[in-house]
Amino acid sequence: MARAAVLCGLGTYLPSRAVGNDDLARELDTSDEWIRSRTGIGQRYLAAPGQATSDLAVEAGERALKSAASGTGPDGADAVVLATTTPDHSCPATAPVVASRLGLGTVPAFDVAAVCTGFLYGLAAGAGLIASGTADSVLVVGAETYSGILDPADRSTRAIFGDGAGAVVLRAGAPDEPGALGPLVLGSDGTGNELIQVPSGGSRRPFRAARAHSEPADPYFRMAGRQVFRNAVERMSDATTEAAARAGRRPEELDVLVAHQANLRILHAVADRLRLPRERFPVHLDRVGNTSAASIPLALADAVTAGVLRPGHSTALTAFGGGLTWGATTLTWPAVVPV
């Protein structure tokens, strides 16, 4: 029987500073009503000064490892995959320092950059390491400090994004056991590259070139909301349908669909497109905002704690992000206790 990647640990971390909509309204031309009516978000958490993405990732990773060790999972991990858009440095990758600080030694560790789809791409990478026999267990982390790349004057992005981290431990197991990841559906469309982007700072538009040619540098995250909305609904709906079909299921047979927590309107639109009750889509963004690659593990832990997601539930995970990228997978939820 082929080796499957089985989810056996779940950990999360949020910074201590909670910022409500009224707090933002004191700085920007916005209001709690304006933000909630357009996004469904009531507050978000922001990293403290000097708190980097690796700091959040280490906290979540440590908790996921504890969660795994308390159940059927391994004591440690053979590899680390970190999904993030906000690494500590543009070079080197952040995952190796996370592995080192977690005491995992010289295990392979690398970053995945797929923006809000990063966690799904990270799961695919971890599953591949296990399937190939390269690793028997993999720590997959989604961690973000978006507060460092948002334009202080942009009320739309500052209202949406928050900081946080979530992680899972995958172990080698059987395809038919609870927690085993089903077929992973992944996709991308580079023609939509500019819809979600940090314009300056890369090789296409380096800061030094922007200064040399008097072109204004733009180091902040930018997003074309309307186009992103349409693409997100279509891609997550289609990817979920395909992932369910590859696993021998129909969308209506899914008990819980944990989608990337981007916007409440998007979650509702995906539910409607799939003709499923909105109640099957757990909502966590109202309390933490859009945490990009961290949003799915954060939402999973919240759903388990709230009793919405229980062992035996037929579950789907789906996300859409910059690139453009998207993905989905299914699993039968295992008896995992989040830390």
Residues 90, 123: Cα–Cα separation, whole Å:
22
Per-residue DSSP letter, 193? G
What DSSP string runs through 16-72? SEEEEHHHHHTTSS--HHHHHHHH---EEEEPPTT--HHHHHHHHHHHHHHHHHTTT
Q: Cite the beta strand spans of the chain per DSSP E.
A: 4-13, 17-20, 43-46, 79-83, 109-112, 137-144, 164-173, 185-188, 196-197, 222-223, 256-259, 314-321, 325-332
Q: Can you tell me whether residue 272 is helix, strand or coil?
A: helix
Tokens 């539930």 locate to 313
Per-residue DSSP letter, 211? H
Tell me which residues are annotated as active site: 116, 260, 290
